[in-house]
Amino acid sequence: MKITPDHLARGAFIYIRQSTVDQLANNHESRRRQYGLADRARALGWTDVTVIDDDLGRSGSGVSRPGFERLLAAICEGRVGAVFAIEASRLARNGRDWHTLIEFCGLVGTVIVDEDGTYEPRHPNDRLLLGMKGTMSELELSLLRARSMEALKQKAKRGELFFTVAVGYVKVGHDKIEMDPDLRVREAIGLVFTRFAELQSIRQVFLSLRGDQIALPYIDPKVSGQHQVLWKLPVYTTVSNLLTNPVYAGAHAFGRTGSRMIIENGRKRIVRGRRKDRSDWAVLLVDHHEGYLSWADFERNQRLIADNANGKGMMVRGPVRKGEALLAGLLRCGHCGRRLLVSYNGTKGDVGRYNCDATRSNPGAAPCISFGALRVDEAVGAEIVRLLQPLGVEAAIQAITQCEHQSGEKQRQIELALEQARYEVTRARRQYDAVDPDNRLVAGELERRWNAALAAVRAVEEELAALLRRRPATLSAEERKRLLQMGLTWRPLGTIQRPPPSRVSGSSGSCCVRW
């Protein structure tokens, strides 16, 4: 008999684990079987039974498991006579944890009990069998992962894999998505892409939407199984996700993010959500469904976003910042190819100078180039004026049209919000009329919802009225004429007329402008 009085004098520890939250929600029978091991331990003669269920919802593949650590600590203290588990895979899915458990149990004389029998790690045959069980458990996990990932990849290649549906789309059937039929949702998302085409900066789009108090739709991730669209003022992440998600360009992508493993405090830790380069995506199907913009426009947007990034070195354009220099972020060094930086001096800090900062990364090297911004900006500005002057009238007319369009965008969004709010009032009224008036428990709640919907309509109506009061009047004929004249006589801002120098000493350089 492998179970001795010495084992019974110590405690029986029941280790319970399920790998995922989904298993906790759906696989109730497995959990009942594991908790039932406590009755088996008492039937075998143990009176001191401890259940360890701290690791419910945690994988056994090597991540941090406080319950397993607690079990090992109790074994080392000599308090454990037997470890009960439904099978070896519940205790560990990796060789390190499994063999550590066997080693500690063998040192202090603890037996391991599962549904198949009782094992004494001090006995060679039992130790061999336990080692094989651990190896098979680890192999089983690897095979399950490989099969599951390949199945997901094959489904993604058919364009039928949807873990979630992005806001702005609805799922049709089991393997297809279409644009949301809600006009307000479609126009709000389309407005984000329209403004990015104008402003060419995620942050500027975010600030303009916040400044105009334009709400964007979102799906609450906490409400599972429902595709309920909610509205709120945008945050930077919301705008960034809309502009960088290929689903809005009609593409189906899988494998955009990955994970990597690091060692932390002697244990494996998985870092998820690491973005991959597009060339490393597992699946990319262009023209998979109707998009809010074309794939060519999406790629152009991604190049602009990449150029605007900070901390990417001197070989990218970088964001355009404040300052008087006309060519900030556009000039490159003719020697090393780095982007030229701009510095400002003078009593007012408005005298610009372009510098190559190659010496920062190569200390001791000779500096490349450095020159004043005034004459270069004047020369380039004059060339731009010469080329654009024939188009000045058309550009001015386009500016007028664009100004009128932007002023109507917010009004359109508020009108759509008002239409939605009025629908909610009608819906609340129908619900109130359908209930028995004598049932005050229900009628009172429906009346409260109806009043809240009416208050929301009044708030939106007041917002629309305030916007119309602030909206500037239509340009008069004189104002239009003046604006057209500005298009013909435009000069770059910051150009200062100064007399030419009487003498130039030293070598001269050249500035090449590529259109």
pLDDT in tens, 348-398: 777 888 888 776 666 666 668 888 888 888 888 888 777 766 566 566 656
Interval 4-29 mean pLDDT:
89
Residue 287 and residue 251: Cα distance in Å, rounded? 6
Look-up: residue for tokens 């990364």? 361
- The residue out of 133, 156, 179 marking a domain boundary is 156
Q: Are residues 279 and 219 in the same domain?
A: no
pTM value > 0.95:
no
Say how many domains are in the chain. Answer: 4
Q: Are residues 152 and 27 in the same domain?
A: yes
| 503: in domain | no
Q: Are residues 226 and 265 in the same domain?
A: no
Choose the weakest-confidence range: 147-161, 343-357, 428-442, 474-488: 474-488
Q: Are 56 and 17 in contact (CB under 8 A)?
A: yes
| 139: in domain | yes
- CATH number, position 144: 3.40.50.1390
pLDDT in tens, 182-227: 888 898 999 999 999 988 889 999 998 988 888 899 887 666 556 6
* Two structure tokens written together for 34: 């594991």
Look-up: residue for tokens 């331990």? 41
Q: Are residues 10 and 152 in the same domain?
A: yes
Q: Which of 19, 89, 137, 208 is catalytic?
A: 19
| 505: in domain | no
Q: Are residues 50 and 79 in the same domain?
A: yes
Residue 84 and residue 13: Cα distance in Å, rounded? 6
pLDDT in tens, 396-435: 656 666 666 666 777 777 788 888 888 888 888 887 777 7
Q: Are residues 143 and 259 in the same domain?
A: no
Q: Are residues 149 and 133 in the same domain?
A: yes
| 29: in domain | yes
Q: Provide the CB-side half-sphere exposure for 300 (13 A, CA).
A: 10
Q: Are residues 124 and 183 in the same domain?
A: no
Quick one: which of 103, 105, 128 has its CA closest to 7?
A: 105
Q: Are 248 and 166 in contact (CB under 8 A)?
A: yes
| 166: in domain | no
Q: Are residues 241 and 257 in the same domain?
A: no
Q: Are residues 101 and 198 in the same domain?
A: no
- Say which DSSP state 11 is in: E
Range of the domain at 199: 171-250+295-308
Q: Per-residue DSSP letters for 416-477?
A: HHHHHHHHHHHHHHHHHHHS-TT-HHHHHHHHHHHHHHHHHHHHHHHHHHHHHHHSPPPPPH
Q: Are 467 and 410 in contact (CB under 8 A)?
A: yes
How many residues can be counted in the chain? 515
Q: How confident is the model at residue 173 (pLDDT cuts 50, 70, 90)?
A: confident
324 φ, ψ to 5°? -85, -15
Residue 199 and residue 201: Cα distance in Å, rounded? 6
Q: Are residues 211 and 246 in the same domain?
A: yes
| 370: in domain | no
User: Cβ neighbours of residue 472 under 8 Å, at least 6 residues apart?
Assistant: 407
Residue type, 252: H
Quick one: which of 229, 125, 227 has its CA closest to 185?
A: 229
Sign of CA dihedral 17, 20, 24, 30: negative
Q: Are residues 51 and 129 in the same domain?
A: yes
Establish whether 505 is a catalytic residue.
Answer: no
| 365: in domain | no
Residue 140, classed as helix, strand or coil, is helix
Alpha helices in 264-366 (DSSP H): 295-307, 358-361
Statement: residue 445 has pLDDT above 70: yes
Q: Are 10 and 80 in contact (CB under 8 A)?
A: yes
| 510: in domain | no
